[in-house]
């Protein structure tokens, strides 16, 4: 099997480039942060953050998906996630943006269906 097929088959779900608004809810003592996604799949999201997020941090996420039809309003999807990777790997005062990979936790059937439709429509 060619190498390109092996790497492609290793991922369970498709991942699409997407600039969606995302709100991060880290904890009650920290102000929420609004940022944007880099890419998304049915299992997780890769986004930009102004703050360093330690791997294994559990946070709340609110994704703003565009309406499915042209006249539909945007739809907010709430989910919890766990940080699996942050780049750069250490916090620094010299860094303005971090790139964070987050895996979705405890997703509902409704969340998976709606996000899955979005991802499939952009593959």
pLDDT tens across 54-104, in order? 999 999 999 999 988 888 999 999 999 999 999 999 999 999 999 999 999
Question: b vs e for 94-122, b when ≥16 Cβ sit within 10 Å of the residue's Cβ?
Answer: eeeebebbbebeebeeebeebbeebbeee
Closest CA to 79 of 30, 49, 112: 112
- Asked if the model's pLDDT at residue 32 lies above 70, the reply is yes
Task: Outline where DSSP puts E strands in 30-74.
Answer: 33-41, 44-49, 58-65
pLDDT tens across 7-30, in order? 343 445 688 999 999 999 987 767
pLDDT tens across 34-61, in order? 989 999 999 999 999 999 999 999 999 9
Per CATH, the number for 12-121 is: 2.40.10.220
Q: How would you class 22 by CB atoms within 10 Å of its CB: exposed for 0-12, middle for 13-18, buried for 19 or more?
A: buried
Q: What is the pLDDT of residue 70?
A: 83
Q: What is the pLDDT of residue 12?
A: 58
Is the peptide bond preceding residue 47 cis, with omega within 30 degrees of 0? Answer: no
| Residue 81 CB contacts under 8 Å (≥ 6 apart), including other chains | 44, 45, 58, 59, 60, 61, 102, 103, 104, 105
Q: What is the pLDDT of residue 48?
A: 95
- Token pair in block for residue 27: 């904890």
Q: What is the pLDDT of residue 13?
A: 63
The residues spanned by each domain of the chain are 12-121
């Amino acid at each position: 099997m060619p190498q390109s097929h092996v790497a492609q088959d290793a991922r369970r779900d498709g991942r699409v480039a997407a600039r969606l608004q995302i709100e991060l809810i880290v904890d009650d003592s920290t102000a929420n942060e609004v940022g944007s996604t880099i890419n998304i799949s049915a299992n997780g999201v890769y986004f930009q953050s102004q703050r360093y997020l330690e791997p294994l941090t559990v946070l709340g996420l609110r994704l703003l998906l565009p309406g499915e039809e042209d006249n539909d309003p945007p739809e907010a999807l709430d989910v919890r996630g766990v940080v699996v990777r942050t780049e750069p790997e250490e916090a620094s005062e010299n860094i303005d943006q971090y790139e964070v990979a987050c895996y979705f936790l405890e997703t509902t059937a409704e969340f998976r269906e709606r996000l899955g439709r979005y991802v499939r429509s952009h593959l």
